Amino acid sequence: MSNNTETSYARIYKQSLSDPEAFWKKAAENIEWVQPFDQVLDDSDPPHFRWFVGGELNTCFNAVDVHVQNGLGDQLALVYDSAVTGNKKTFSFFELRDEVAHFAGVLAARGISKGDRVIIYMPMVPEAVVAMLACARLGAVHSVVFGGFAANELAVRIDDATPRAIVCASCGIEPGRVVEYKPLLDEAIDLATQKPECCIVLQRPAVVAAMVDGRDFDWHAEMALASPHDCVPVKATDPLYILYTSGTTGQPKGVVRDNGGHAVALKWTMENIYGVKPGEIFWAASDVGWVVGHSYIVYAPLFAGNTSILYEGKPVGTPDPGAFWRVISEHNVSVLFTAPTAFRAIKKEDPAGEHISRYDLSSLKYLFLAGERTDPDTLHWAENYLGVPVIDHWWQTETGWSIAANCMGIEAMPVREGSSSLPVPGWDLRVMSEEGEEVAPGEIGTLALKLPLPPGSFPTLWNAKERFIQSYLERFPGFYNTSDAGIIDADGYVYVMSRTDDIINVAGHRLSTGAMEEVLSDHPDVAECAVTGVADVLKGQIPLGFLVLNAGCTRSTVEISDEVVALVRKRIGPVAAFKQALVVKRLPKTRSGKVLRGTMRAIADGKEWKMPATIDDPEILTEITEALLTIGYPRSE
């Protein structure tokens, strides 16, 4: 893009970086402040930066009450559509405000106030959204834990966040099975050293959970007694939520989000990135347990006065691959946001798009995809059958909103296959070499963001200030290390290629292979192990374990593999999708003892690989290749 043909995108992007304070001050005018901020950016303590210092606001007020105040109380705020139960329910802003104010009253009556933590362990039901907003209303800090995690993972989060209260549902409903959440919660509380004072339990018709006397309280009974609670002003820099995400060890990282920067940035994204106007219908087909759910099922659409769809179901099997098209046509969805894996699942069952032609999808303007790179097949299939721009955009739990995207509300740029388009205003994106130098356009390196990060990105990790610095800021001083490898081409298009750490992406879910290795190595017969992410047609990647057994172990290798698979499901949860472990004689290592996971992955994927110069014993790779062949790797598809 040359200067004489400067695009609106290029102009706005430049403005956002040349004078970030002016840029975000203007965006902050769209938020209702109880107390205006004194300083847009406090940069007095690098590498820590704080936005909107001195300002006070309430996030729930900006998401819900403001619209009632502005006369839009009758507009729909939330539409719950459950393909797994057949239930549907709508909430106007007025109704949502009443529900949230009452549930804030429930929490307040149980002693919850500003700064207290509340864990929410719930499936995709409106009460999950109500609970999140009620915490925000009180200035309490919520931490939502995804339902597919096991008791042990929940316990780790309870111990780290030390919640005074936990809000949970009796069950989640997965196709073909009911997942009882309450026994998992009970087990987690037993395992945790920090016990919550109370649990509020939503009893769903499918399962009535057993209650612990004096600790557990029924959602509906509490709501019937509660008085509505008003919004409590908090500092812009106070935490709104903690969202745990996988790090390279079994201890997840508690990503902290503040109130002020979050509200300003997220509201800005709705019109500018997603190109939706207030009143339009926005659907993020994700889960409230992930960052996409926090930002784009709950907060951003509500800040912007959109109607948000809360869909409890899958892209396929609930009941068929037309499920997404039914929701779009029934609720007049303007913008759909999901992960490429959902489209691969649909495409696999309905390659000719026959279900699409059964519905009127004329309301749909754009499809946004994130969570993993959009593969060209999925991109073109979606473009062909939906006839709308398909936008791959890249972001992370830490950033809270997208770093690279095609900003539909600023200027639609040409879509390029394999690219998440251009850096979004606010993000100063560079590509770094191993030596920490910026590389030339078109060369691969680590994607890094120059500090300060824009509002809405995480200011720190909960209880882990040192880890925050070590994990993100030390590798490239003055920059945030995204741990994603990628390329920026001569036109500024960004290509995100792979993680540079041990994180894998399974069906758009971020998982730590290190955490899985910790579980495998706890098996009494396992001497050594490694987990790597291998290519999968549907989920993008799936974990594959390699086990070396203790000398003298004569037990059946099939039995041991089954046991470690069960152990990962029990300790991490079904979401890990850990289904296979291969017993091998030895693991390939460098002379310094580093396990060559990347080489094993390349062999399993049938990709070309080079013998690592530092390998300890090349013969081991022949053994690994042979062992992989016995379980069908490389896959033929």
User: In angstroms, what is the minimal distance from the CB of 374 to ligand AMP?
Assistant: 6
**Which partner, ligand COA, ligand AMP, none, binds residue 9 by CB below 5 to 8 Å per kind?**
none
User: In angstroms, what is the minimal distance from the CB of 151 to ligand COA?
Assistant: 12
**Which partner, ligand AMP, ligand COA, none, binds residue 394 by CB below 5 to 8 Å per kind?**
ligand AMP
User: In angstroms, what is the minimal distance from the CB of 202 to ligand COA?
Assistant: 14
Cα-Cα-Cα-Cα dihedral sign, residues 422, 504, 259, 446: negative
User: In angstroms, what is the minimal distance from the CB of 533 to ligand AMP?
Assistant: 11
Confirm or reject binding of residue 296 to ligand AMP (CB under 6 A): no
Confirm or reject binding of residue 459 to ligand COA (CB under 6 A): no
**Which partner, ligand AMP, ligand COA, none, binds residue 172 by CB below 5 to 8 Å per kind?**
ligand COA
Cis peptide bond prior to 588, omega within 30° of 0: no
Task: Fill in the per-residue mask, 241 to 280: x = in contact with ligand AMP (CB under 6 A), - = not in contact.
Answer: ----x-----------------------------------
From residue 58, alpha-carbon distances to 34, 92, 135, 278, 347 in Å are 8, 20, 11, 20, 42
117-136 residues near ligand COA, rule: CB under 6 A:
123
**Which partner, ligand AMP, ligand COA, none, binds residue 245 by CB below 5 to 8 Å per kind?**
ligand AMP
Quick one: 72 or 178, whose CB is closer to ligand COA? Answer: 178
Give the strand pairing for 117-121 and 141-144.
Answer: parallel
Quick one: 444 or 553, whose CB is closer to ligand AMP? Answer: 444
Give the strand pairing for 88-92 and 76-82.
Answer: antiparallel
1-11 b/e (C-beta count within 10 Å ≥ 16 → b)? eeeeeeeebbe
| One residue of 306, 505, 512, 561 binding ligand AMP per CB under 6 A | 505
43-62 residues near ligand COA, rule: CB under 6 A:
none
**Which partner, ligand AMP, ligand COA, none, binds residue 393 by CB below 5 to 8 Å per kind?**
ligand AMP
Confirm or reject binding of residue 373 to ligand AMP (CB under 6 A): yes
- What contacts 335, CB < 8 A, 6 or more positions away? 274, 275, 276, 280, 281, 282, 283, 364, 365, 366, 367, 368
Quick one: 185 or 379, whose CB is closer to ligand AMP? Answer: 379
**Which partner, ligand COA, ligand AMP, none, binds residue 62 by CB below 5 to 8 Å per kind?**
none
Q: Which two tokens stand for residue 523?
A: 């098996």
Confirm or reject binding of residue 400 to ligand COA (CB under 6 A): no
Cis peptide bond prior to 634, omega within 30° of 0: yes
Confirm or reject binding of residue 274 to ligand COA (CB under 6 A): no
Please provide residue 298's backbone torsions phi and psi, each rounded to the nearest 5 degrees: -100, -75
Confirm or reject binding of residue 290 to ligand COA (CB under 6 A): yes
Q: Please give the DSSP secondary-structure letter assigned to residue 437.
A: P
Alpha-carbon 234 to chain mean position? 25
Confirm or reject binding of residue 517 to ligand AMP (CB under 6 A): no
In angstroms, the CA 456 to CA 291 distance is: 12
Confirm or reject binding of residue 540 to ligand AMP (CB under 6 A): no
Q: How long, in residues, is the chain?
A: 637
Confirm or reject binding of residue 287 to ligand COA (CB under 6 A): yes
In angstroms, the CA 346 to CA 319 distance is: 12
| One residue of 292, 361, 413, 534 binding ligand COA per CB under 6 A | 292
| One residue of 132, 243, 335, 339 binding ligand COA per CB under 6 A | 339
Q: Which two tokens stand for residue 54?
A: 């001195």
Task: Fill in the per-residue mask, 192 to 231: x = in contact with ligand AMP (CB under 6 A), - = not in contact.
Answer: ----------------------------------------
Confirm or reject binding of residue 508 to ligand COA (CB under 6 A): yes
Quick one: 64 or 487, whose CB is closer to ligand AMP? Answer: 487
Cα-Cα-Cα-Cα dihedral sign, residues 584, 588, 591, 597: negative
Q: Which two tokens stand for residue 417?
A: 């296959």
In 575-621, which ranges are E strands? 581-583
Alpha-carbon 403 to chain mean position? 14
Confirm or reject binding of residue 612 to ligand COA (CB under 6 A): no
In angstroms, the CA 591 to CA 264 distance is: 51
| One residue of 101, 284, 370, 379 binding ligand AMP per CB under 6 A | 370
In angstroms, the CA 108 to CA 456 distance is: 27
Confirm or reject binding of residue 153 to ligand COA (CB under 6 A): no
Asked if residue 505 lies in contact with residue 498, where contact means CB atoms within 8 angstroms, the answer is: no
> Would you call 24 helix, strand, or coil by DSSP?
helix
Confirm or reject binding of residue 423 to ligand AMP (CB under 6 A): no
Quick one: 232 or 345, whose CB is closer to ligand AMP? Answer: 345
| One residue of 397, 406, 481, 512 binding ligand AMP per CB under 6 A | 397
From residue 52, alpha-carbon distances to 25, 49, 297, 301 in Å are 8, 10, 25, 22
DSSP 236-290: TTSEEEEEEE--SSSS-EEEEEESHHHHHHHHHHHHHTS---TT-EEEE-S-TTS
Sheet hosting strand 494-499, strand order edge to edge: 429-432, 445-450, 479-488, 494-499
| One residue of 510, 523, 539, 597 binding ligand AMP per CB under 6 A | 510
Interface residues with ligand COA (CB under 6 A) are: 123, 147-148, 172, 174, 179, 286-287, 290, 292, 314-316, 338-339, 341-342, 345, 370-371, 507-509, 574-575, 577
Interface residues with ligand AMP (CB under 6 A) are: 245, 291, 370-373, 392-397, 420, 484, 496, 499, 505, 510
